Amino acid sequence: SRPQHRAATLVFSESACIAGPPDARCLVFRVADQRKRQLVEASARLLMYYTPATRVPPTATTDGAGVRHTKVAVEVEQLELETRQIFLLLPCTVVHRITPQSPLYGKTAEDLARMHVEFVCLIEGTTPSTGMLVQARRSYVSSEIMFGRRFVHCITLDQDGDYQVHLDMIHATEPDGSAGAVFDVQAGVAR
């Protein structure tokens, strides 16, 4: 199949989550391959696009159609992932640990909205049958980031001891029960 058709078989979670105990907060999202023959040598990258707080004041312009535009500076940072190489035999959770060096450290949900944050997730891999490179991407805007929630398990064992993957559960989340999460969720702080 063509690379763009093959990329459509990769499923991303509908939202990303920020959760974990205060000293080990993480931004996570899920990705799964719906095909039996998974991509080989798959890798993940996560980019963060945002408008910095110390930005140049916007300038308003009007184009020929009379539409008002605002020009703003946009910054891009590649976020460090726990592992870039992913194995898509089972659904995979891609993790960015929020450390003091992370641009997300100490940011609230309101901060992310004010900064117009957008996370762009890129997955690349090779189809085993043709050797063609496949790229898929998904972006998450600030309203799609869920603070204080984590993904539920979407893999079970059947009575024969075989793994069962429930792709319908790839999007499901639950409250994060980590110590200190209640205070931080109410404050909406990612640290």
User: pLDDT digits over 92-132, tens only?
Assistant: 999 999 999 999 999 999 999 999 999 999 999 998 888 88
Q: Give the separation between CA 51 and CA 54, rounded to whole angstroms.
A: 8
pLDDT at 191: 42
Pair type for strands 68-71 and 59-62: antiparallel
Q: Give the separation between CA 174 and CA 69, rounded to whole angstroms.
A: 40
Q: Give the separation between CA 20 and CA 180, rounded to whole angstroms.
A: 9
Q: Which residue has the tokens 């929630």?
A: 149
Q: Which runs of E-coded beta strand occur in 22-143?
A: 26-33, 40-50, 59-62, 68-71, 75-79, 92-97, 107-108, 118-126, 133-141
pLDDT at 60: 54
- pTM summary value: 0.80
**Which residues neighbour 20 within 8 Å (Cβ) at sequence distance 6 or greater?**
26, 150, 176, 178, 181
With a cut of 50, which residues of the chain have pLDDT below it? 1, 56, 179-191
Sign for the pseudo-dihedral over CA of 127, 121, 95, 144? negative
